[in-house]
Structure formats: C-alpha cells, structure tokens
Structure 1
Amino acid sequence: MFTRGIFAGAAISALLLASAVQAEENYPAPVVKLITHSSPGGGSDVFLREMVPYLQPYLGPKLVVENVTGGSGAKAMAEVAHSTPDGGEFYATTPTFIYTSLLSQPEATYKDLEPLVNVFYDPEVVYTAADSDFKSLPDVIAAAKEGRGKWGAANPASLERQLLEQMKQKTGANASIVTFEGGGDMQINVLNHTLDVGVGEVEEIRAQLEAGKLRMLAVLGDKRLDQFPDLKTAKEEGIDVSGLKFRGLAGPKNTPPEVIAAWEAAIPKLLEDPKYKKIWTENNLQEGFMKHDEYVAFMAKFGADTESFLRESGVIH
C-alpha cells in the first residue's frame, strides 16, 4: 500500500510537471511583463504583485511586474501600445487609462490598446488618519464647507479624482483636490495630516489599516464591503456618489488569438485557487472576470460614457 502511494504521488507530480512544461511550450513568450503606471505600493502595483505567484502555474511563462510611472499612465500606455504583440507585455487597466486618454493628449490612448481580460472590480473607500478629528464622511464635508478641505486622489486623471469632484458638486464643499502619481505617496500625506482624506482601495491601504494608522469613513460604491459590514456607503450617508473601478489587462493591438485564449483559460482557474481566493476576498475585491470580446465591448462603453460625462460637466470640450 505504501509503495503504491509513492508511485501514485510520483505519477501526479509527473503529470503536474508535464502540464507546466506544456503550458510554457504553448505560450509564445517565455517572459511576460505586467506593466503598471502605479508607483510601488499603489493599487495596481499591489494587485499585480499579489496575483503573479498564483497566476504563473496556470499560464506558464515567467511573470514580472514593472512600474512605469509618469503622465498619469501615459508613459506606460505608450510602452505597451508600441510593444510587439507576442503576448510578452501587458498593461494593468483601471479607469485611469480612460481618464488620461480623455483629459490629456498622450502619445497612445486606450483606443490604441487591445483589452485582454478583466479580473476584478475594486470598491473605492474614503479614508483618513486614525488620529484625525473626522469620524464620518459628513464630518469631512462639514469641515470643507466651514473652511477649506484638502482631499487626495492617487492620480491626476483617475476615477478617484472624478469621484471627489462629484462629491464637491453634490455637496457644495469647498475643497482642493491634490493628486499624486500613486496611492503610496498619497497615503503618506493623509498620515501626516497634509490631506484630510484620501480615496483608494482597501487592498492599497490594508497595511496601514491593520497597523491602526488609517481609518475608513465610507464606501464609494453601491453596497457595503463583506469584510467591513459596518462601514456605510456614501449614499447611506446622504452623499449620492458611487463609482465602479475595474482591474484587468490590455495589450498591444493584434495580440494573437492563442495568447488571448491562454489568458481566458488561466484567469478562471486563478480566481478559484483556494489560496489566492482567500487573498482577494480578504482584500474586498469582487470577482469580475470578463473574456476578451466582452471586455472589448465593456471598455468601449465605459470610454464613451466617461467622455459624455466629462463633456456634460464642462471638463473637456
């Protein structure tokens, strides 16, 4: 019985090894660069670095994360748009690359990239320093009406900034919105009270939350977070502001069908991996897998809707 168990274990190991080798042989690029516009510690940076160890066995090639900061994502978008479409380089998509494309004149826009797949939806939260005087989102609004608030967004062209602009419009708050090139830099300014509040994802601020240095005030989404059921939404606090942040990948145009198929097969397996599922659920990420064709349609609509909103608001002409 013991000998049979040894042979069975050896057979399973050989099968797993053969599958891994086959995956590497089938995927056209030996190394895949996953590029983010976020600085180290920012939301996309954390998303990619936590995902990579669990994704690699399901995809095959070696996966590396690279931070290409500058221009609110413009530099990163241009690099991926001009890369060879061989499955070797992808950009971590968030609403930022839509906003950057619409609010500036980057070398490459979101229309120059090929949406690959979406992985998650990432709820946004408003947070402050744990030792600040703000105990709720209405406290922040009231202070901004009495004096002048200082609110932070992780990127000049981002959903976070737009949500804060909407909050100003909806409440009449008098606040300056300060932007950065990543969530890590913004956190520092919230911690040292240079900013009253910041907007980001739970995944991005988790370390400081667990250390007791930051406190969440509200969810900028349509429902409460499973891990923090007592945290109210902005709407529940009487502030009609909500946004949907997506996290996925895009590559250069003409990405080969076999590359797209490999990712479409790998991501569902990744999301069901027990160890990784524990991580992403604890980070309050919401499963948002979309295949390539679905993601292409989603991105086109999101881009068109965002452009219409920015025109109607007078932000762009």
Structure 2
Amino acid sequence: MIRFASKLQRLAALSLLPVAALLAAAPASAQSRDYPNKPVELVVPFQPGGGTDALARAFADATRKHMPQSMIIVNKPGASGAIGWQDVVNAKPDGYRLAVVTVELTTLPHMGLAKFTYEDLAPIARLNADQAAITVRADAPWNTIEEFLAAAKNDSGKLSVGNAGNGSIWHLAAAALEDKTSVKFNHTPFQGAGPAVLALMGGHIDAVAVSPAEVTTYVQAGKLKTLAVMAEQRVKGFEKVPTLKERNIDLVIGTWRGIAAPKNTPPEVIAYLKTVSQQAANEPAFREVLDKQNLGFAYADDVAFKATMAKDSAYFKTLMGKLDIKN
C-alpha cells in the first residue's frame, strides 16, 4: 500500500512539472503582451537644440497616434554620445528605455571612448541620414570653401572648427577634410552640434563641420553661411551650396539617426516597436519636421539598419587608423 501511494505521488508530481514551468514563464510573457503599460523613455545622448534632438522630439510626437503610452525624451549628453548610450546599454531590456542612435555608435569604440559597441544595442529602425557641411558666420571673410581652406593653410592649426565631441562624426568629417586637402584645423569639441553652432554664432570658433540640419535656421536668418557639403549631390534647401566633389575634393561623409533598444529586449517587444516606428515615420507631421529642419528622410528596418552599422564600423575603424585619431 505504501509503495502504491508513493508511486501515485511521484506520477502526480511529474504531471505538474509542465504546469509549473508554464506558470514560471507566465509573468515575463504577460509583461511582453501588456507592453507598453507605462511611458517609454527615449534617451537623446546630446544637448537639446541639434538635429538629433529635433528628430527625437518629432518622432516621439508621431508615436502618440500608434501607442497607448507616451514616449518621453531624456537628454543625457556627454562624451560624444557615449554617456547616453551606456545608460541604455545598461538598462533593463524591457523596452521602456530606448536610445536615439547616431553614427558615432560605430566610431567611439575604435577610439577607446566607449566600452560598448553597436552590437550591444538592438536596432529598431533608421529614420534619417545626413551629410556633413562646413559652415561659418555670415560676416566671415571666406565666401567659398577654397578661400576657407587657403586661410587654414596659411594659418596652420589656427582656424577653430567646432564639432559634437571628440570622435563624433563631425570631428571625423573635419579630420578627413584635413587629410584630403593637407590643411590643419584646431578641432574644438562640444557636447553636441547645438552648442557648437551657438559657439559659432557667438564668434568663439571660426566654423562648424555639422550637418545642414543643425544650421538651417541660422542660415535662413542670414546669420550663418554654408560653404560646402560633403555629399554626392547638392542638399535640398541648400541648392546653392556646392559639394566638395564639385570643388575637386573627393570626400563624402555623414551621419544617420535611428532608434535602438538594449540587447536582449524580447523579440515581441522589438517587433511592436518596429511597427510603431514605421507608422510614426510615415506620419506627415514627422516628415514635415524633417523637411523644415533639412533632415534627410532615410527609413530602414532593423535588419538593414544593423547591416549599415556593421559596414560603417569597419569603414571608420580603417579611417581612424589612417588619420591616427586617438582619444
């Protein structure tokens, strides 16, 4: 009798194992199904005022029609974006803390300025791509890129060119221009393109190597002038500005911006965010902000975005080795 009861108990216990396993997995699964049940934070790793911040705010507004919860912008500037991205890399992978990522995600690790790589974040969607440009004050003595470069050559290392931080794409753009034209600039880092442009406006630096998006308001107001863009063809809204290629300088370099989550975020959460991102990207209001800011719309899904990251990481590793750019 005792043996029989014991056997029944063992069988009963074994029959409950699958149920126990399902119950253990239920909370995580339910959490994913309920996503999002609270506001989602979107970390912008730069100061307010630049193109990245403008895109993030427009994107967050555009998601309101497609999410039951709000997306809240959190600016965490510093170290050319590394501080904000490290914050998201370290965040709980539950979809409630996302990052606006830029091309610097693929440059900083090669300079020893970041302990993470692009592979530590899960791409959701690329939203934009823009080329670098050289912009000066409207009252500056240079009216062409040739005049600006001649001045840099005559006063080697004296002309100060502002960027969004050491290792930022705008720093690399100016350094690549040095390499192509045999001139030397005084590279001046800031915590984002916005502060760099404000320093230019105040006469504290001679030029900036940022995208047209970051200077468009001041160019339109007649306070700044763009001398050249580092693009394959002329940029919308800056049709009168030549490309470097038109000036026989073979240099094309720029940035992209998109949305990413911490690595290991549940696939169903990533899938949800992919759908919302595509819907938001197609909102007329989002496109209008991009057009107004001269931000180039360039949507790509998570797979294509990750391939771009891998390609750029390899390219910039080679470029920085050639230019000997270090921390």
Asked whether the equivalents of residues 87 and 255 of structure 1 are also in contact (C-alpha less than 8 Å), the reply is yes
Asked whether the equivalents of residues 123 and 284 of structure 1 are also in contact (C-alpha less than 8 Å), the reply is no
Does 2:128 align with 1:120? yes
- Of 59, 83, 108 in structure 1, the residue corresponding to residue 91 of structure 2 is 83
User: Which residue of structure 2 aligns with residue 104 of structure 1?
Assistant: 112
User: Which residue of structure 1 aligns with residue 272 of structure 2?
Assistant: 262
Aligned-pair distance for 1:281?
Answer: 2.3
Instruction: Describe how 1:18-29 pairs up with structure 2 within 5 A.
Output: 27-29=35-37
Does 2:182 align with 1:176? no
* Larger CA deviation: 112-121 vs 135-144: 112-121
- Of 217, 234, 245 in structure 2, the residue corresponding to residue 235 of structure 1 is 245
Asked whether the equivalents of residues 152 and 197 of structure 1 are also in contact (C-alpha less than 8 Å), the reply is yes
CA distance in 1 between counterparts of 2:34 and 2:242 reads 47
The aligned amino acid for 1:71 is A
Closer/same/farther in 2, CA of residues 121 and 29 from structure 1, 3 Å limit:
farther
User: Which residue of structure 1 aligns with residue 43 of structure 2?
Assistant: 35
User: Which residue of structure 2 aligns with residue 160 of structure 1?
Assistant: 170
Does 2:150 align with 1:142? yes
Long gaps (5+) in structure 1: 1-23
CA distance in 2 between counterparts of 1:160 and 1:252 reads 25
* Larger CA deviation: 290-299 vs 78-87: 290-299
Does 2:33 align with 1:44? no
Give identity over the alignment, percent. 26
Question: Could you state the TM-score of these two structures normalised by the residue count of structure 2?
Answer: 0.83
The aligned amino acid for 1:186 is A
User: Which residue of structure 2 aligns with residue 215 of structure 1?
Assistant: 225
Closer/same/farther in 2, CA of residues 83 and 64 from structure 1, 3 Å limit:
same
Aligned-pair distance for 1:36?
Answer: 1.4
Closer/same/farther in 2, CA of residues 300 and 29 from structure 1, 3 Å limit:
farther
Closer/same/farther in 2, CA of residues 29 and 157 from structure 1, 3 Å limit:
farther
SS of 2:153's equivalent in the other structure is: helix
For residues 274-315 of structure 1, give each alpha carbon's deviation from its aligned partner in whole angstroms, at most 9, with x where no partner exists.
Answer: 232222123232222111122222212221222122223333
SS of 2:48's equivalent in the other structure is: coil
The aligned amino acid for 1:283 is Q
Closer/same/farther in 2, CA of residues 239 and 95 from structure 1, 3 Å limit:
same
Aligned-pair distance for 1:316?
Answer: 5.7
User: Which residue of structure 2 aligns with residue 3 of structure 1?
Assistant: none
For residues 39-97 of structure 1, give each alpha carbon's deviation from its aligned partner in whole angstroms, at most 9, with x where no partner exists.
Answer: 11122112212222122212332111111122222211211011111111111111122
How many residues align structurally? 294
CA distance in 2 between counterparts of 1:149 and 1:48 reads 32
